[in-house]
Amino acid sequence: MQASTRISELLGGGSDGWDVFYKARAMIAQGVPVTELTIGEHDIRTAAPILQDMHRAALAGHTGYAAVPGVPALRDAIAARVQARTGVPTRRENVLITPGGQAALYAAHFATCDPGDTALYLDPFYATYPGTIRGVSAKPVAVQTRAEDAFQPRAADIAAHAAGAKTLLINSPNNPTGVVYSRATLEGIAKVCQDHDLWLISDEVYDTQVWEGTHLSPRALPGMAERTLVVGSMSKSHAMTGSRCGWIVAPEAMVTHLINLATHTTYGVPGYIQDAATFALAQGPDFEEEVSAPFRRRRAIAHRVLAEQNTVALVPAQGAMYLMLDIRSTGMTSEAFAYGLLEAHHIAVMPGESFGAAAAGHLRVAMTIEDAAFETALRTLCDFAASCRSDA
Give tens-digit pLDDT for 25-50.
999 999 999 999 999 999 999 999 99
pLDDT, mean of residues 316-339: 96
Q: Are 295 and 77 in contact (CB under 8 A)?
A: no
For the entire predicted model, the pTM comes to 0.96
The helix-helix angle for 100-112 and 252-263 (nearest 10°) equals 110
Q: Look up residue 17 and give its DSSP letter.
A: S
Phi, psi at residue 151, to the nearest 5°? Answer: 65, 20
Q: Percentage of the chain surpassing pLDDT 90?
A: 95
Q: What is the pLDDT of residue 391?
A: 66
Architecture per CATH, 64-283: 3-Layer(aba) Sandwich (3.40)
The total number of residues written for the chain in this structure: 392
- Range 147-164 burial, b when 16+ CB lie within 10 A, else e: beeebbbbbebbbebbee
Q: Look at residues 88, 133, 85 and name the one whose alpha carbon lies nearest to residue 109.
A: 133
Give tens-digit pLDDT for 121-147.
999 999 999 999 999 999 999 999 999
Domain borders along the chain are 5-45+286-385, 64-283
pLDDT, mean of residues 197-205: 98
- Residue 201 DSSP SS3: strand
Instruction: Give the number of other CB atoms < 10 A from CB of residue 93.
Output: 16
Q: What is the pLDDT of residue 248?
A: 98
For residue 392, pLDDT over 60 is answered with no
Q: Are 251 and 106 in contact (CB under 8 A)?
A: no
Q: What is the pLDDT of residue 208?
A: 97
Phi/psi-derived region of residue 70, left when phi > 0, alpha when psi is between -120 and 50, beta in every other case: left
CA 203/CA 172 separation, integer angstroms? 7
Rounded to the nearest integer, the mean pLDDT of the chain is 96
Q: Which CATH number fits domain 5-45+286-385: 3.40.190.10, 3.90.1150.10, 3.40.50.620, 2.40.50.140?
A: 3.90.1150.10
For residue 159, pLDDT over 70 is answered with yes
